[in-house]
Structure 1
């Protein structure tokens, strides 16, 4: 079998690599909350089909209470995909009834629990929050709905109150409980502690929803994974409010290659999925975006490029084929003779040392002006020098 990665021996492998974890995608709900994004129903359907095609087993298709068109889009997704369809609901009877009208597979019930949210948003006491959550879960149960229960702003909520409200969720029949790092302010150590405490107390599935305000969403997800979390909310390219969410592609790659856990996602299809989402969201994929950006498997620096031609793993930890991609060697101001000569031979040009130096000078000049020299330009340069 062809080797596809060379990784650090210091990385920690999972103690339970065979454990089945759930990757549930919320691009169509939390991702769409990114300012400026509003997916049309047909676009939502296309994205949902692409998510199912890559192997996502659970799709949060939207927030049913938002509008009639949102509910229709969710119903269409439910009727035409094989994935389990999830819908968000506040602890409000109208939200829960809207979910029931969409015939979704799992309701994601939530309510804020931090002192900050209780005082300034909900204007409720802890007892009132617990009772509202209890009534909501009872209604979901009475309507025959399966449901999860998550706390909003979990990472700024006191543990004793979390235990009280999760005890209520357990009593009411929640399928799983969830924590939310709503403003992305927790550290991996904090997430590890929180997940560890909850998994010790509650012998039931636990989900994590992690935002990226401090750039720690993926590190926090690995900490949650190591501490025993079972389900992970993700979005394609990490899109979402403010700094976004845990990125689907980053988490899947980390779980597989840094922890040895297979999420069931076909990584070769991730670039095509990202292309669909970026088109409909009117977002350009950043060139340096991990695993999906144009530059990830592109080399221009002379030392790097020459080494990669000898052995790609000198400057790549994972082969591009894992993501259905191809490696690119570009020429520019940082290029050296070795890479240039290899490129020229590739296109049938054999030149002496003097001509090689002249071509290299021209390549560097153009590289300084526009950043790189593509193969078409190189062929033209070589032809002109040889004429």
Structure 2
């Protein structure tokens, strides 16, 4: 398998995700991460003529790219518009245009209202103008997949007319995500066999959840470059996700790619933060749960010659394998977690802890590894972590036109403290009261709340459990605590008490 180029278009096509808009500084930050950390071969950073904000972002990226000698790897989408896009790109300092042309007869006839000959003449003029300016040209054949399906002769006539021009790459988009892998392979193979001297890229969309499979099919057919976005961002169902594509190319095709797999998870979380689009927990390679074994039989198999491992080892992607705790865990999962915490139990104790965790799972309680020391201590009277913090009492009040008020009485290492505070909500008032105890009565720093999320089971029941997941930061480390209750505020308070016990016992607080 020859070298496969990765062109990432998160900053252009990915930004076309509904509700996503990257600020200029965010675009520059992501460009740096993609080219220097992940080490993709090329990036597409914008569409020409979109806005003044886009112009400012592209200028920042090009100025940085010029200093790093990356300008030939930074591309901008442009249009067949008599040189207007070329002017825009040149003013920004760009050196590569990805020229958007019509790859299907239907688009040419009904959108441009031109014949193929007229469209080719327009393309020739812009390619010649780009050459005169010292700007390299790649060609997008927009709607190429429909062109190959319904008007293949049009595609071939267009390629025959353009193949002699100074064009670096012809880029084949499945614009509407219509392909399945077999048809994709056949169409790409037809192009690479008919035009063996040309370089082709494939650009997949994920409307049928086949973008990664189609990308692999294109590479098997001889395409030399593929397009991705971080986290699969893009219009409608998005594009081929960078993390999945590089893993599949590496493992299934043994392709030669330059990307650093170990940095993919870091870049994914940065894009998640900048875009506001959450990564699904079950998303391959980068999802929170994808390296977590839930069934006890899997953990048991991992203990016996790694029977449930595949080539997607978490360490490749800067991740670690975890073993979930719940009603399907079994002793093997629990023992794995205890081993990581340095806790060893005899068989009788293991049986009791296992039974208790299964009961919690039946009640929809989510148990984490960080909870295990408390469960062990509570069940077995162990001399490990103790309940250093207890809520003795609290009162929450809310009234029309008045800020909510909380009065909290809390015991810390056997000493009782009481405080009353107002807040912007009942939970905020509760936290303000506890924070006042820590900062004013104890003279200690209170952890910062970094993220707060609430999940409610489907079905619309008013008595359904509410799970609150809170991320905290303390002494440079981030950790999460959960609370479960039918009352959202009580669930958040339970999560907060878990956090207080963690910092008082100072155990198992590590940056994920």
User: Distance between the aligned counterparts of 1:258 and 1:171, measured in 2?
Assistant: 35
Aligned to 1:110, the other structure's residue is in SS state: strand
Q: Which structure has more RCO (C-alpha within 8 Å, separation ≥ 6)?
A: 1
Contact 1:28 1:61 in 2 (8 A): yes
Q: 2:90 aligns with which of 88, 91, 100?
A: 100
Superposition deviation, residue 38 in structure 1: 0.5
TM-score between the two structures when normalised by the length of structure 2: 0.69
Aligned to 1:66, the other structure's residue is in SS state: coil
2:27 match: 44
Most deviating of 123-132 and 257-266: 123-132
Contact 2:282 2:290 in 1 (8 A): yes
User: Distance between the aligned counterparts of 2:377 and 2:346, measured in 1?
Assistant: 11
Q: 1:75 aligns with which of 59, 63, 71?
A: 59
Superposition deviation, residue 96 in structure 1: 2.1
| Aligned pairs (5 A) from 1:213-252 | 213-252=207-246
Q: Point out the structure with the larger strand share.
A: 2
Most deviating of 34-43 and 304-313: 304-313
1:209 match: 203
**Residue 352 to residue 249, structure 1, CA distance change in 2 (3 Å):** closer
Which has the larger Rg?
Answer: 2
Q: 2:137 aligns with which of 140, 143, 147?
A: 147
Q: Point out the structure with the larger helix share.
A: 1
Deviant stretches of 4+, over 6 Å: none
The yes-or-no answer on 1:287 pairing with 2:281 is: yes
Contact 1:113 1:126 in 2 (8 A): no
Contact 2:63 2:93 in 1 (8 A): no
Contact 1:347 1:379 in 2 (8 A): no
Q: 1:340 aligns with which of 334, 341, 366?
A: 334
Superposition deviation, residue 245 in structure 1: 0.8
TM-score between the two structures when normalised by the length of structure 1: 0.90
Most deviating of 284-293 and 363-372: 363-372
User: Distance between the aligned counterparts of 2:127 and 2:337, measured in 1?
Assistant: 65
Which structure 2 segments of 5+ residues have no match?
Answer: 382-512
Q: Cα deviations across residues 158-183 of structure 1 (Å, max 9, x unaligned)?
A: 22211222223223211121211100
User: Distance between the aligned counterparts of 1:371 and 1:237, measured in 2?
Assistant: 29
1:199 match: 192
1:35 match: 18
Contact 1:113 1:129 in 2 (8 A): no
**Residue 163 to residue 309, structure 1, CA distance change in 2 (3 Å):** same
Most deviating of 22-31 and 120-129: 120-129
Matched residue pairs, number?
A: 369
User: Distance between the aligned counterparts of 2:166 and 2:140, measured in 1?
Assistant: 13
Aligned to 2:328, the other structure's residue is in SS state: coil
1:13 match: none
Contact 2:103 2:155 in 1 (8 A): yes
Q: 1:112 aligns with which of 75, 99, 102?
A: 102
User: Distance between the aligned counterparts of 1:94 and 1:343, measured in 2?
Assistant: 61
Q: 2:74 aligns with which of 64, 74, 85?
A: 85
**Residue 184 to residue 95, structure 1, CA distance change in 2 (3 Å):** same
2:183 match: 190
1:178 match: 171
